[in-house]
Amino acid sequence: MSLRSSSPPARPADAAGADGPPTGHRGARRAAAARSRRPSGGRRTERLAPYVLVAPAVLIIVVLRLWPLLLGVNFSFTGDGERNGTTVGLDNYRDLLEDPLFRGALRNVGLLVLLLPIAVAIPGLLATFIYLRVPGHRFFRGVYFFPAVLSPVIVGAIFNLLLAFDGPLNAVLGGIGIGPVDWLGDPRVAMVTVVAVHIWATFGMALVVFLAGFATLDGALLDAARVDGASLAQTIRHVIIPGLSRTIQFVFVTTMIGMLTSMFGLLYIMTSGGPEGSTYLPEYYIWIQQGQMNRPALASAASTVLFLIMLVVGLLQLSLLRRSGRTE
């Protein structure tokens, strides 16, 4: 080992380390400590220690997260059933595009994109109100965040009761002369219903992120707006939105990722993909193909497509961050 020579730059591995050179003072102190106190047999242990400490985490992450990603992409070019293991080129991807259920899933992703501004605007507006110290703002914050900690399964089960065709919501609407609407049974309505429940359950997350952003906003600007007699709408448009552009972009991206990856529980318990396959999302399609249809290779192709969609969202975030970084 390099320490054996014990000549001045005592730990060349450190100096060349990826973390950049250690400060002279610290490095010297450590080297001195290593030289004077440690028995020579301990040096090997000493050098290995960081690797031993990191090993379990890295091993688990590489074997159970990164390796499956490569395996999955590889899988998606092989066949299912009797063609198991043979290379089939792009056949799975062709099957995907011809499958009305997957096309429906992609259409629903488009619907998510359309509803995204609403999912961002609601918590943004509420955070503004809370920031303006509406009476009871602390209480509101606590209440609004609560559904975000409930499992989608519980949320879905509760809304199954509320939204049943002969359920309470239709009873209330019937009382004022509307409906009844078949919230979960009408193919034109069901997906919008599920997304609305998802927004109900998660707007508290975005709200808290917005509030963290407000904490960085310059209060003097708001005071100036008030002195100039600006209305609430004007203040939001000219002071708050420009001041929070980074936070807003961030919420857009995290909300989109949330809609793409955490609606399985809701879909599973509320509609199971129905009626008429109208409430499929890529994640639900993957689950059906893997768990129910026994078509893992096709499911892998769908996974790869979902990963590409997420990659686009992620890269969009990166470029937005870079752009806002430049203007600041």
Partner 1 sequence: MSRIRWGRWLLAVPMAALALATMYPLVFTANVAMKTRREYILDRFSLASALRWENIAAAWHSVGMARYLLNSVAVVTCSVALLLLIGSMAGFALSQLRFRGSSTLFLVCLVALFIPFQVIMVPLVRIMAEGGLTDTYPGLVLAYVAQFLPFTVFLMTSYYRGVPTEIVDAARIDGNTPYGVYRRIMLPMGAPALLSVGILDALFCWNDVLISLLLMPSADHRTLMVGVTSLRGQYSDDIPTFAAGVLIAAVPVLVTYLFLQRQIADGMTAGSTKG
Positions 72 through 131 that interact with partner 1 (CB under 8 A): 72, 75, 126, 129
* Ranges within 27-66 binding partner 1 (CB under 8 A): 29-30, 33, 37-38, 42, 45-47, 49-51, 53-54, 56-58, 60-66
Q: What is the closest distance, in whole angstroms, from the C-beta atom of residue 117 to partner 1 in the complex?
A: 19
Give me 176's structure tokens.
Answer: 């004022």
The Cα 119–Cα 251 span in angstroms is: 9
* Ranges within 145-164 binding partner 1 (CB under 8 A): 145-154, 157-162
Q: How far is CA 202 from CA 58, 156, 299, in A?
A: 31, 13, 27
Give me 39's structure tokens.
Answer: 């028995």
Is residue 285 within 8 A of residue 145, CB to CB? The reply is no
* Ranges within 261-280 binding partner 1 (CB under 8 A): 261, 264-265, 268-269
Is residue 221 within 8 A of residue 289, CB to CB? The reply is no
Find the binder of partner 1 among 89, 100, 136, 174 (CB under 8 A).
136
* 6 contributes a contact to partner 1 by CB under 8 A: no
Find the binder of partner 1 among 140, 182, 189, 192 (CB under 8 A).
140
Residue 160 makes CB contacts below 8 A (sequence gap 6+) with 184, 269, 270
Secondary structure class of 215 (helix, strand, coil): coil
Name the residue nearer to partner 1 (CB basis): 8 or 39.
Answer: 39
Name the residue nearer to partner 1 (CB basis): 4 or 65.
Answer: 65
* Ranges within 189-228 binding partner 1 (CB under 8 A): 200, 205, 208-209, 212, 219, 222-223, 226
Name the residue nearer to partner 1 (CB basis): 93 or 268.
Answer: 268
Find the binder of partner 1 among 80, 91, 95, 283 (CB under 8 A).
283
1-9, 17-25, 101-109, 184-192 -> range binding partner 1 (CB under 8 A): 17-25
Query: Kind and range of the H or E element at 77?
Result: none
Name the residue nearer to partner 1 (CB basis): 154 or 188.
Answer: 154
Is residue 247 within 8 A of residue 210, CB to CB? The reply is yes
Is residue 191 within 8 A of residue 198, CB to CB? The reply is no
Name the residue nearer to partner 1 (CB basis): 66 or 114.
Answer: 66
- Burial category of 223 from C-beta neighbours within 10 Å (exposed 0-12, middle 13-18, buried 19 and up): exposed
Name the residue nearer to partner 1 (CB basis): 8 or 70.
Answer: 70
Q: What is the closest distance, in whole angstroms, from the C-beta atom of residue 136 to partner 1 in the complex?
A: 6
Q: What is the closest distance, in whole angstroms, from the C-beta atom of residue 82 to partner 1 in the complex?
A: 18
Q: Residue type at 58?
A: V
Name the residue nearer to partner 1 (CB basis): 188 or 237.
Answer: 237
Secondary structure class of 190 (helix, strand, coil): helix
| Cα dihedral 31, 35, 37, 39 in deg (nearest 10) | 130
